[in-house]
Structure 1
């Protein structure tokens, strides 16, 4: 899987990022909103590295999620003590780092070791854990998270089984061209 990058300071940059994300998702067979676990499974398969989701009670205030790249695959650790929609946003943000091909900064292994002292520091190669979105890569990951979630949220909110309007909206929003 090719890393997607976009300079998100401009609308044109966001469009470029959106197009790149759409291409990558179509490559892995995703043409509409899917559950977050399924999205992770397909992206992991495509990359040849499974993505495992780990709910973990994190300190508040503090980071809500982290991405750990180990020899056995990638781990997305997310706050267990929050709402489902917030958890999905955290996971989507960390997927944004993975899809963008971001790398860890040198001190992140030390940060992870303090965060989970039982974890062998030799296993840690990559960790992305942020509470601010002031770097280009954080904005990129956050934009990807927003793109992944914006349509699926609308589809979920329009879940009135008997309404013909809801069925039409779900059909339109679920279309491959309408999702991203």
Structure 2
């Protein structure tokens, strides 16, 4: 689905990276549910409470910086509804993919295959249900701010976010 109106997203991330809220490098370094190692990907939530729950993964409440983002012009595959899944030849079983286990055993997770297929079809990312916040949803965005298409920006009207990592020294 192509977005006609900008969408507000929420991202909770490690405060040390306050200067780089749109980098996606953490996901590139370690890989994620919807991205292989080496592919920068922004993971964000469509609700503030979901961003917090996803960040902490049900464990200890770690310090976080929460930024509001605005996404415009993105082509997102919606994997939250049965009709959207079926249109892409998928079922809800994709949400139960044991991607970490597959990586640990040297196999490509099914979610990474889906990501590659969607990217080849021109999708910038996808919407998926949150595991940590029932009823919430998240966005994995692997293509943005490259000229045409998806544009992602952080909402920082007073310029409070630092511009370099020097603020943490």
TM-score for both structures, normalised by structure 2: 0.30
Higher strand share: 2
Higher helix share: 1
